[in-house]
Structure 1
Amino acid sequence: MEIRDKVFVVTGGGNGIGREVTLELLRRGGRVAAVDLHDTGLAETASLAGANATGLSVHPSDITDRAGVGTLPAEVRARHGQVDGVVNVAGIIHRFAPLRDLSIEEIEHVMAVNFWGTVYVVRAFLPDLLARPAASLVNVSSIGGLVPAPGQGAYGASKAAVKLFTEALYAELRDSSVAVTAVYPGGVGTNIAGNSGVDLSGLGAAKDVPSNDESAQVTSPQDAGRQIVDAVSSGALRVLIGADARELDHLSRMEPQQAIDTVADAMQAMVS
């Protein structure tokens, strides 16, 4: 679909990949309603947008609050008049620990943000998208939703749920005006740990922890944002971001046990 003059809702727009998706959509002439839990992050995104901020509105909101999410479509329509696309980026990890050591509350929290937050936003905005002649719905899963990572088992389960939820939406909406896309990032240099309230100070040597270290073999948030906006434009069903994501995706389909063992071996030091 054409980006220029279209209106997009982006969750997680106050930091990381969500911020870069927001900025890239604005650069391409789109208008954006950025949603984030933290108003300070949204203000920083608006500042970074510069002159393009005229096409931006910010909406501090907790996507785990179903009633609150239900008010967002009217807010966005009041500001922009329509909704042509939704990009669900907001997500968190949990502390690195085996599933047996995570509390039920920790598991529930990561599922509430990553899965239920996505569901609430989709359910709230889908009527608007279906009313448009062309629309885009993008949900960000993770390579962790394709291959399990020890120490991030509940996170992976939440992202696997997003994967199948998105694929089911694609199957149900094939004959509609809505193009559905699932995105699977590998390692991206964001501060997802800090934004999730997770202390990684004891895991600094682990290569697979997302970070802002430019020497790490990770995709930049800017590149990830560009690839996601490209997918909005093309309507691609499936987007793998990063060589690590592409390699693990291939291995998981060809040799699923080897894929699990490969990741488990790499992550062993982080959960032992």
Structure 2
Amino acid sequence: MKVQNKIIVVTGGGNGMGRELVLALLSKGASVAAVDINASALEETVALAGMNRANLATYTVNITDRALVESLPEQVISRFGAVDGIINNAGVIQPFVKLKDLDYAAIDRVMNVNLFGTLYMTKAFLPHLLARPEAHITNISSMGGFLPVPGQTIYGAAKAAVKLLTEGLNSELLGTNVRVTVVFPGAIGTNIAANSGVMNTLQVKGGETSFKMLAPAKAAQLILEGIENNRYRVLVGSDSRFMDAIYRLNPQRAARFILNQMSSLLPQ
């Protein structure tokens, strides 16, 4: 689905990859409803939109609140007249600890934001998308959604659920006007750790990161290319593409490779 002149909803639009998706969509001639729990972050996105801000509306919503999410489509339609697509981008990671040391409050938060937030948004907007001549649903999973990352086991479980939710939805919607894409980002240079309320777990001695981070703007570009070409799945970043290939050939070897990469960061 070409995004020009379309109305697209983006969750997590106040920061990182979500903000870059909002700005990139606006630059391509789309109208955007940016959703985020952080009102001040949304204000910053509006400021960065510059001359395109007339085509941007913001909504401060906690996507884990089903009632609030269910009221969102009518608000967007009241503002723009319709809605043609959603990008479920909002997500949080867990504290970088093993499952045995992870408390239930953190578990609930990760599952609620990453899985149920995506589910609530999809359920709320799907009837309206089915009424459009063409429409698109994009759900952001993670490289950790197909590959186990020690210290992010619950995050990975939530993102794996998003993967299968999206793939199942794609099958259910075959023959309709709604296309579906699942996205698997690798390491992206965002503030997801800080925004998740956890320390930056990708820091090692000397302040160097274990991964080569992809710029959020580049990630957004790759995602939009996938949407505009109606791709079934989009792998974002060389690390995601590499590990996808390894995992297909030998899942256990891929899991051990990631364990070796992450072992210095994982509390014993």
For residues 25-83 of structure 1, the C-alpha deviation after alignment (integer angstroms, 9 at most, x for no partner) is 00000000000000111000010010011100000000000000011001000100000
The 3 A distance-change label for structure 1 pair 177 and 202 is closer
Q: Which amino acid aligns with 1:207?
A: T
Alignment of structure 1 residues 120-199 onto 2, 5 Å: 120-199=120-199
Quote the residue 1:248 is aligned against.
Answer: 243
- So what's the TM-score if we normalise by structure 1? 0.95
For the pair 1:207 / 2:209, whether they are aligned, the reply is: yes
**Which structure 1 segments of 5+ residues have no match?**
209-215
Which of these residues, 197, 201, 217, is aligned with residue 222 of structure 1?
217
Other structure's SS at 2:265 match: helix
For residues 133-185 of structure 1, the C-alpha deviation after alignment (integer angstroms, 9 at most, x for no partner) is 11010000000011111111110001000000000000100111011000000
User: C-alpha separation between the residues in 2 aligned to 1:33 and 1:248?
Assistant: 33
For residues 181-216 of structure 1, the C-alpha deviation after alignment (integer angstroms, 9 at most, x for no partner) is 0000001000100010111379443734xxxxxxx6
Other structure's SS at 1:269 match: coil
Q: Which amino acid aligns with 2:260?
A: D
Q: Which amino acid aligns with 2:188?
A: V
Identity among equivalent pairs (%): 46
User: C-alpha separation between the residues in 2 aligned to 1:202 and 1:49?
Assistant: 30
CA contact (8 A) 2:34 2:42 kept: yes
User: C-alpha separation between the residues in 2 aligned to 1:201 and 1:231?
Assistant: 29
Other structure's SS at 1:151 match: coil
Quote the residue 1:266 is aligned against.
Answer: 261
**Which structure 2 segments of 5+ residues have no match?**
none
Other structure's SS at 1:75 match: helix
Between the two proteins, the alignment pairs up a number of residues equal to: 265
User: C-alpha separation between the residues in 2 aligned to 1:267 and 1:218?
Assistant: 15
For residues 204-240 of structure 1, the C-alpha deviation after alignment (integer angstroms, 9 at most, x for no partner) is 43734xxxxxxx6111000001111112211101000
The 3 A distance-change label for structure 1 pair 230 and 96 is same
The 3 A distance-change label for structure 1 pair 201 and 139 is closer
Quote the residue 1:212 is aligned against.
Answer: none
Other structure's SS at 1:110 match: helix
User: C-alpha separation between the residues in 2 aligned to 1:64 and 1:201?
Assistant: 24
Other structure's SS at 2:95 match: coil
User: C-alpha separation between the residues in 1 aligned to 2:180 and 2:202?
Assistant: 39
CA contact (8 A) 2:170 2:180 kept: yes
Which of these residues, 236, 239, 243, is aligned with residue 231 of structure 2?
236
CA contact (8 A) 2:202 2:209 kept: no
